[in-house]
Structure formats: C-alpha cells, structure tokens
Amino acid sequence: MVQRLKTLESVAFPAPGFGIYVHWPFCLAKCPYCDFNSHVQDDVDHARWRGALVREIAHYAETLPHKQTVTSIFFGGGTPSLMVPETVAAVIATVRAHFPVAEDVEITLEANPTSTEAARFKGYAEAGVSRVSLGVQSLRDVELKFLGRQHSAKEALAALDLARQHFTRSSFDLIYARPGQTVADWRAELAEALSYAGGHLSLYQLTIEKGTPFYTLYQRGEMPIPSDDEAAALYEETRDQAAKHGYDAYEVSNYARAGEESRHNLVYWRYGDYLGIGPGAHGRITIDGKKYATRAHRAPQIWLERVEKHGHGAHEDTQLSCEDRAAEMLLMGLRLAEPLSLTRLETAAGGAEVLNWQEIRKAEAAGWLTVTEAALQTTEAGRLRLEYLLSHIIL
Amino acid sequence: MTTEQSRIRNFAIIAHIDHGKSTLADRLIQTCGGLTEREMKEQVLDSMELERERGITIKAQTVRLTHKAPDGEDYQLNLMDTPGHVDFAYEVSRSLAACEGSLLIVDATQGVEAQTLANVYQAIENNHEIIPVINKIDLPAADVERVKRQIEDVIGIDASDAIEVSAKTGIGIDALLEAIVTRLPPPVGEREAPLKALLVDSWYDAYLGVVILLRVVDGVLRAKEKLYFMNTKTTYDADHVGVFTPKLVKTGQLSAGEMGYLTCGIKSITETSIGDTITHERNRCAEKLSGFKPSVPMVFCSMFPVDSSEYDKLRDSLGKLALNDSSLHFEPENSTALGLGFRCGFLGLLHMEIIQERLEREFDLDLIPTAPSVVYHVYTNKGEKIALYNPADMPDPVYIERIEEPWIKATILVPDDYLGGILQLCQERRGEQLDLTYVGGRAMAVYRLPLNEVVFDFYDRLKSVSRGYASFDYELDGYKEDDLVRMGILVNAEPVDALAMIVHRTQAEKRGRHLCERLKDLIPRQMFKIAIQAAIGGKIIARETLSALRKDVTAKCYGGDISRKRKLLDKQKKGKKKMRQYGNVEIPQSAFIAALKMGDE
C-alpha cells in the first residue's frame, strides 16, 4: 500500500532529475539589458579554460559521496557558442566518465544566432549537444539594434534553420514588453516567431536590472516600459497566441509543446539538485539529507586560478535552513503550471511551519491558487502576481 | 584662583544656521588653547552626533577660555554657543540672560536672516553690548560692505566697526579677541553679597548624574556647601563645582561673574527648574532672579512603534531623550488603528524631526509618526473648554460650539525677486499681512498666520518658492475662532485615524483630494480594488480608486541563482512586516510618512 502511494505520488509529481550547469562567462559585447555574469575578453586561452572546467567537474565527482544520475547538462553564459567544440566535448566526456548519465540525457547549449557561431553547430552536435537555445530576442532589426544584439533577423532565421538540421530539439528566446511596443506589434512578431518555433519558446518580458545601461536610462526617465496593466495585457496576448499554436505556458515565461519542456530548467523549478560549474555558477547539492547552496567566484580570472590551485572555484558553500529550503521550493515551484507536492514541501521544511494558511485561503478565494490535500498549484492569475502571492503565503 | 571681575567677559554667539557659528566657536577655543590639537574635532561644541551631522546646534553649550591680551593680562572669556534655529529660541533666551554681550555673526555671502533678527532683538532686550562679526570673508562671493549696510538698515545697529573674520582660515580672530576684551563690559556682581546664581540649563550625564549649567551673579559658590534652590524649595549639598574648557574641570569654586557647572546628587532633570535661583541654605539672598518663561510645546504628533512589541522600548527611549530635553513632552496614547503609542509635544517642526530621527537612529526603533498638528481650543455647547491635542479626539460636531486655533506672527526676509511667491504662499495659508518693508534689495514681510498652516509644510514651500533664500521666524500670537473641521481618511471604508487632520473648511477639499491622490501612489496594489476617500463627518469630499494588482512576477529566474530570489523574497516579507492592516488593506509605513510630508504642488 505504502509502495503504491509512493508510485502514485511519483506519477502526479515527476522526479526533478539532476542537472549540471556549465557557465561560459565571455561575450563579444555586453547587451544593455543583461546583468548576468558576462565579460568581454578577446584572448581567451581555450585549452586552459577547458582544463579548468573539466577539473572542477572531476573535483565535485570525487567529493560527492553519492552520485545521482545526470538527466541534463546545460551550457549557459555569457555566450557558450563562443566555446570551441573541443571544450564542449571534453566537458560532456568528463561528466560521462564520472557520473551515471541517463539514456535520454538532455544536453543544451545557448547560442547566439550570428553566422560565425552557427558555423560551429556541427561541431557541437558531434560533441554530444542535443538541443540548442538561441538568443534571437526579436525578429525586428530595429529592436535587435535597441537590444544591443550582434545579429539581424535574417541571420537569426538562418541560424534557426541550421540548428534544426543539427539538433533534435531547439528553442529560442524573445524579449517583449519593450518600450513603445503595442499589443498589435507584438501579436504580429509573435505569430511569425511561432511559425518558426521548434517545440519550445522562452518569451521574457523586458526586465530592467540594476547596474545595466537600461537601468540608467530608466532612472533618467528615458525608458518608457509598459505599466503593469499593459504588461498584463501583453502577457495575456502571448498566452493566447501560444496556445493557438499548441504551446502551453508550462512556466511563467516558458512555452512548449507537450514533452518539449526544458528538462534542465525543470530541475531548478522542481527544486532538484544541480551542480554549478564555471565562474559565478550556482549549485544546489543534497548530502546526507542536508541541502547546500554553492556559488563559484564570479571573476573569471580568480575562478580560473582557484580551480587550478584547489580543484574548485567555490566562493560560498552554505547549508540551507529548513525554512530556506521550503521557501526556495515554493518560489521556484509555483512558477510552474504543474502542482507542487505538499509532501515534498513538508520534507524540505523538515517539520518547520512555512505556510500561512490564512493567506492561502484568501488566494484560493481570489482564484490565484488551487489547493488540494496533496498539492498547491498556481492559476495563471496567481502566476502573474507571484511576488505578491509568495510574500503573503510564506511565513 | 579667582579672576577679578574686571577681567571676565561673558558673551553669547548669535547667528543664523550655516553662518559659521560653531566653526567660529571652535576657532576661538583653539586659539586660546582650550583643547590640544588631538582633541580638536571639528565642531567641538556640537557634541551630539546628530548636531554634528546636520551642522546645527540644539543645546546651548558653554566654554571657558583664557586669553592673554596685549596688555599682558590673562582674561577669562566665557563663551556660550546658542542654537540658531527658531525652534530653539527658548534656549537662546536663557543663554542671553547669562551674558553681558553678544557676537552677532553674519555670513558675508548671505547677509542678515530672519532668525538672526529675532535673536539680536532678544540680545538688545537683555541690554547686551553687541559686536557685529562678518564671517566667511575669504569666500569669493563675500560682500562685506553690503552686509554691513544690511546690519545697519535691517537691524539698526552700527556696523562701522564690525570685525571681519574667516573662522575657517583664522583671519581676524586676534582682532575679534581684542574686541571682546575692549568692547564688551565685565560682569557687575557683588562678590561679598550672599550667593545668587542663575540655573541656566541642566542635563543628565551617565557618570555624574544631573549637571547644572549656572551663572553666578553675586557671591561665591564652593564645593561641599549646603545650597538652597529657591523655586523648587529644595536643599542640596554641592558636590563638584567647576568649569567647561569644554571638558569638565573641577575648580572647587565659582565667584560672581563666572559661569560653570555644579553637580549635587540630583538624579533627574525633572527635579531642577530652568531659571531657578541658587543660593546658600544658611545665608540666602533676599530676592530671587526673575527666571524664564517655561517652554511651551507648539507642535504635536503621535508616534507608534511599527512592531507593537516595541512599545516599552519606545517609552524608555522617549524617557531617555526627555532626560536631557525638558521641552519634549509625551504621554501614552491608544489608537484603534495604530495600537499603543505616544502623543508627543515639540517646540517646532525641526525639534520633532530631530526627536524622530534620534529615536530611529540611536534607539533603533521603527516608527509611524502621525501628521503634525497644533493644540486647538474646542468649546462645547455645554460651556466646557477642551484643549484638543489630537484630531482623533475631536468630539462629535453637534456638541461643538466653536473651535479656536493658534495663530503666529511670522517675520519673513526674502530677496525682492522672490517676494511675489512668498506673498502668494502666505495668502494661500490664510495669512494676514501686517507689514511689508524693503531694505537693500530685500523685503521684510510680517504676517499673521494660523500655526496649523505652518506646521503642515510651510517651511518647505517657503524654501522652494524662494530657492532657499527666504528666512523665517515666528512667535505665538494668540487664539482665534475659525471654521475648522476634522477631515478623516477612509481606506475601503475603514477610517485611518493616523491620517485624520483638522483643517479649515475652505482648504478641506483641496487637501483631501491631494492626500487621496498621494495615497493612491503610495499604497501598493493588492488583491482587490481599494477605495481611498477623504470625508468630513459622513460626507465624502474626495475619492480615488486603486485598482487591483495585475502583474508583478519577474520574467526570468536567473538560471540556478535561487539565492538571489530568496533574498528578494526575504526583503519583501520584511517590507510586509512594516505594513499596517486596515480591514483587509495593507498600508506600508513609508506611505504614512510620505503622505504626511506632502506638499501642494
């Protein structure tokens, strides 16, 4: 009976899996909206970086007492399509040498859709990459220029075409809710994008991040981004258009045909374990029932030297409290359209009270949450207002 | 060692804020060797952290200097540094009563200001010899001749032999010391007469207990003597007797004409009475000194702890501040919306701001202050007179016969160019013009104004319409009946008593509309639509609607960086703790403060 219940639970709430994130911190140019850990540097010593990435993976493999089966590898950045294919191959081979790897492992690489980078697609495919995620961002040249991108819309479509030839799966990103963008403008651009999409799309509303050039413009009042109401209208338009083409909003900003979801990102959202490899990469690792948050040093050169000296570039390694674990599970899990298991939440919370049930009932009455004995699930209305919701339902 | 009275000079320094008073005092201390180089911090006399930071003097301070004059004699100079702000005019009046002369400091680049004027008149009333001192002559914008003319035209004292100095560079300091010796009169007390000393101020010191600042008028005060305080009719044994250099230095005695300190085992400043006459228990003086009028709080507001469990801490903290600030008044208050707190009385708006800031900074309290208000006199139709300190306590209008509000007489000095805006401002605030004169490119406007209109945001507006050039001073000028109403604010039909205010009927709609608009911007959007209304009794006079929250989710989740999101969530939750619940609406503390600070754009 207990066994059967467990099975039911795992059917209703799929296992999160175990992912490895590899960060390539270099870019040809910094985009004015981006606050990720990226650096512009021309003379990257590829052999040296390859050695360091491989060494850090091996180091983790040696220190982990229990090795979970790897279900996804993700090359992010920066611009990972600036990596030479040999490095990608070496990283994948190292993972395979040290960890059990699932048969259907998803190996994604983020790429910029410029022609020079697309020329490397063949090499990445041969190295073992099965999925690319292209930073298309817009199909309008004027907008691409505004966003500081190095490619044209035409180049992006060509890269997309080439990606289809080399990889079994592909996705691309678009940024919308840009200054001055109307619902009609976006509808047309999105319809075009959906006709090119290969099963997965990430559609992000432009977020003004502190420390970026866009933030400076915004502070000066020169960045007329849409109001909450306009942003909500754009969001609803996006959802409707995507649904018409068979794409479900399985996460706040991610749309997929059934089975095409990003398995790696699902590891984060379902709050599974993942290793963070490379400068500034974050990880979550469970050892003996305790969950640790790791963060590597952000500065590429320091990270490199540390790995060469100590085998890893970790800057911080903190054990998370029960409350923190539960809060993280909620703030990631409720971004998904799928339900979040209360049993899993209780396990993460380790007996601590983390939910404000009075607020949960209010949110339920407002139509923001669906609550059952076994699970919490946000409705679309709830996902749109997630910051408010989280700050109220978490004690 | 006693100094002959002929070689004692007691003087106060009068100046507008920023005219360099404290810097000059520091320079005098340094020149006379009161402190070693190492002890010489900038603005030595402003000892409170806040005083030093804001560059203002709040409490009067005193220091004894020894000056070797060119005639070869050592002179004892007792300097009193006085607050420059109108809120602390009361402290100024006490300091002036303890001296025979004043230095009038005027900034060579700014000229005479309204507060300078008020303080100079006080000095003249105290029969002071006044030495005009023109400071900051080293600055390129200095216009010494123009400032001299202003002193003569506006204040009406001779400025031909004004001393020109730069407290910053030290230019003219020797000439100033010489002028203090030759131009100011020595004190004229009788050393052989029974002891008669003026209690100028008192404060609490953690090590010494209450320290009394005094001026000996007649006789000699020695340590170990039995003393009698004539107003409080109490007897104490003198413990320490000494002077400020500005460090406390025991001298064992103080004679006629000298200033210094006394400790005598007093535990709380409430046991001392400012302006009291101190004499010997056995050999009492015949008549006591005239003393001072007690300080009267003019501006009131309530303060509530954000976290209701901090009520006791707030009470203790106010108690500690009151130990050294006899003009701070407070009493418990119970608000249905804000819980337990205190109704506090202040000398003015700056005083209020300083107290709030000290509570938050030094005592680490998070406070919700209510709108500042004044004391109204409410006459009921039963013939009772009620002093109304808090708009929330206003009786039902049907029981009210009439309401009177306090008025002030305000003096405003402003460059001609900005006069139009100032007159319009006074008019908007129901002002009545009493006088308008022009002197050397400046206008002096004298108005009668309701204090209520001034506590609101008058000072900020005055500064903004005059680009900071107007200066302002006021004195209370009686009560007057008017058509005053209590305006309440309702959030989703729930009254928010912290935002209730008493306003003139003609101003109610404008102010209500403005406050509602302001709150609409300040209250974050929530699960449902929120109505924000201003009302007089049951009648709604303004309304705004805050629509429900539609979207706040962040688009991206930053790869695996969950820590950043979690920290953000922690911050949001912390912010939520600073919210007050009205019915089902949450109002952040910052909204109260910002709404109450509003100006009429």
Is the same domain home to A227 and A337? no
Verify whether the Cβ–Cβ distance B552 to A384 is below 8 Å. yes
pLDDT for position B43: 47
Evaluate whether residue A11 is within a structural domain.
Answer: no
**Residues A242 and A110 occupy one common structural domain:** yes
Give the domain CATH number at A390.
1.10.10.920
Is B560 near chain A, with CB under 8 Å? Answer: yes
Using the Cβ of B361 and the Cβ atoms of chain A, whether some distance falls under 8 Å is answered with: no
DSSP designation for B171: B
How confident is the model over A236-286, as pLDDT tens digits? 999 999 999 999 999 999 999 999 999 999 999 999 999 999 999 999 999
Per the structure, the complete domain to which residue A57 belongs is given by 17-268
Is the per-residue pLDDT at B89 higher than 70? Answer: no
Enclosing H/E stretch for B419: helix B419-428
User: In terms of domains, do A120 and A183 share one?
Assistant: yes
B339-346, strands of its sheet edge to edge? B329-335, B339-346, B299-305, B367-369
pLDDT of A1 strictly over 90: no
Q: Which residues pair with B222 in a beta bridge?
A: B253
CA distance A231 to A238: 10
Angle between helices A183-196 and A228-244 (to 10 degrees): 30
A8 is a domain residue = no
Question: Looking at the predicted structure, is the pLDDT value of residue A317 above 80?
Answer: yes
Considering Cα of B315, then B316, then B318, then B319, what sign does the dihedral take?
positive
- The answer to whether residue A297 is domain-embedded is no
Instruction: Confirm whether A132 is domain-assigned.
Output: yes
Inform me whether the pLDDT recorded for B202 exceeds 60: yes
pLDDT at B55: 44
Q: Taking the CB of residue A334, how many other CB atoms lie within 10 A of it?
A: 25
My answer on whether A187 and A59 are in the same domain is: yes
* Residue B63 pLDDT grade (very low, low, confident, very high; cuts 50, 70, 90): confident
Do residues A34 and A163 both lie within one domain?
yes
Q: Is the ipTM of this complex over 0.90?
A: no
Predicted confidence (pLDDT) per residue in B259-295, tens digit: 999 999 998 877 888 889 999 999 999 888 887 766 6
Average pLDDT for A4-24: 80
Which residues of chain A neighbour B560 with C-beta distances below 8 Å?
Answer: 21, 268, 274, 276, 281-284
Looking at per-residue pLDDT, the higher value among A236 and B110 belongs to A236
Do A259 and A331 reside in the same domain of the chain? no
Q: Give the tens place of pLDDT for each residue, A349-364.
A: 998 999 999 999 999 9
| Closest C-alpha among B487, B522, B494 to residue B595 | B522
Whether chain B has a CB inside 8 Å of the CB on A367: the answer is no
User: What are residue A54's phi and psi, to 5 degrees?
Assistant: -60, -45
Instruction: Say what the pLDDT of residue B58 is.
Output: 46
* Better pLDDT: A389 or B35: A389
Record: contact B547-A229, CB cut-off 8 A? yes
Check if B574 contacts A (Cβ < 8 Å).
no
A326 and A264 both lie in a single domain: no
Q: Are residues A262 and A327 in the same domain?
A: no
Contact B553 A391 (CB under 8 A): no
Q: What is the pLDDT of residues A326-335, one digit of tens each?
A: 999 999 999 9
Q: Within a domain: residue A247? A: yes
In a domain, A292, yes or no: no
- Residue B294 CA to residue B306 CA, distance in Å, equals 33
Do residue A48 and residue A145 come from a single domain?
yes
The closest of B217, B9, B216 to B100, measured between CA atoms, is: B9
Evaluate whether residue A127 is within a structural domain: yes
* Runs of H (alpha helix) within chain A: 2-12, 46-63, 85-98, 115-118, 121-127, 141-146, 153-166, 183-196, 213-219, 228-244, 263-269, 300-310, 322-333, 342-349, 357-365, 380-384, 386-393
Residue A43 sits in a domain whose CATH number is: 3.20.20.70
Q: pTM of this prediction?
A: 0.67
Q: Are residues A36 and A103 in the same domain?
A: yes
- To which residue do tokens 């409350």 refer? A323
Does A284 sit within 8 Å of B560, measured CB to CB?
Answer: yes
- Which residues have CB under 8 Å from B71's CB, separation 6+? none
Residue A373 DSSP code: S
Distance from CA of A282 to the nearest CA of B (A): 6
Q: How many domains does chain A have?
A: 2
Q: Are residues A177 and A261 in the same domain?
A: yes
Does A146 map to a domain?
yes
For residue B294, the model assigns a pLDDT of 66
Does one domain contain both A144 and A260? yes
Chain A: closest CA distance from residue B369 (Å) = 25
Note whether B55 and B197 are within 8 A (CB): no
Which of A158-172, B363-377, B499-513 is most confident?
A: A158-172
pLDDT at site B37: 55
How far CA B19 is from CA of B85, B179, B459, in Å, comes to 12, 20, 19
Best mutation target, B523, B530, B551, to test chain A (most A CBs within 10 A): B551
